[in-house]
Amino acid sequence: MACSREWSFSRRVRYPSLFFKAHRSLYYELLNEVRIHGDWERWLDFFAEGVQTSAAQAVATAHALLALVNEDRDRIAGLGRAAPSALAVQQAMQRQPLATSAALVAATGLTAATVNRTLDHLAVIGIMVELTQRQRGRVFSYRRYVELLNAELESAA
């Protein structure tokens, strides 16, 4: 995924299609039953279960993300004068949890120097992680945020 792509919340949480992919054989079996016997009731029950399961998991992920963001916001408050910039970067990283400092400059309106200093502060307190180990074009991750999103996808497999 390109670092400049912004993730919307709807793209982050489970799609019902992931439920159907995880239950592929039953999905096709029930579709075949509709085709052969017109058994729409079983198909609709299965579909409703998929939507309900997906929605419940999306709510759980949303709660976990909100708890993480609030916990990190409390930790950021301890940064003193750097806290307002750090909160702006954290907020931008919620929309784009993998980003370059240049993308964060554009997203926050902060100067490049402020963003880079802020990312260093956030890395020291364990909120952001620098992935590239380079001087220029560094890519940062809101690591625990990404882990929660990945856990959402892995639970579908």
* Full-model pTM: 0.76
Please give the pLDDT value at position 155: 63
> 8: pLDDT confidence band, cut at 50, 70 and 90?
very low
DSSP track, 92-121: HHHH-SEEEHHHHHHHH---HHHHHHHHHH
123-151 tens-digit pLDDT = 999 999 999 888 788 899 999 999 998 88
Tokens matching residue 106:
């554009």
Residue 108 has pLDDT above 50, yes or no: yes
Beta carbons within 8 Å of 65's beta carbon, 6+ residues apart: 94, 145, 148, 149
> 19: pLDDT confidence band, cut at 50, 70 and 90?
confident
If one looks up domain 11-154 in CATH, what number appears? 1.10.10.10
Average pLDDT, the chain: 87
The closest alpha carbon to 117, from 145, 138, 94, belongs to 138
Please give the pLDDT value at position 107: 96
Please give the pLDDT value at position 15: 62
| Domain spans in the chain, listed from the N-terminal domain onward | 11-154
59-95 tens-digit pLDDT = 888 999 999 999 999 999 999 999 999 999 999 999 9
Residue 9 has pLDDT above 70, yes or no: no
Angle between helices 112-124 and 101-108 (to 10 degrees): 110
d(CA 138, CA 131): 7
Q: What 3-state class would DSSP assign to 89? A: helix
Q: What 3-state class would DSSP assign to 74? A: helix
